[in-house]
Amino acid sequence: MAAHFHEVDVSEATGVARYFGIFHLPTIYLYRSGRFHAELQCEARPGTIRAVAAHLLAAPAQDEP
């Protein structure tokens, strides 16, 4: 499971929002060992987030958005 979560206030860090193309808040990107895996899109419930994150992290890394 995720070891770290980093919160970025895109109203303060607009460059980050532009770089990653963040248009919906909250936006969660999954990284493992510095490699991008996927954008997490699911119901905001702990069990659902854990299940979807585990499934996405089991797949090969993807190119960053």
Enter the DSSP assignment of 46. H
How many structural domains are present in the chain? 1
The pTM (predicted TM-score) of the whole model is 0.59
Question: Can you give the pLDDT at residue 24?
Answer: 65
Contact residues for 36 (Cβ-Cβ < 8 A; gap 6+): 29, 30, 61, 62, 63, 64, 65
Q: What is the pLDDT of residues 46-56, one digit of tens each?
A: 888 889 999 99
Which residue segment(s) compose the domain that 13 sits in?
Answer: 1-65
Q: Among 5, 22, 26, which Cα is nearest to 13's?
A: 22
**What's the number of CA atoms in the CB half-sphere (13 Å) around residue 20?**
18
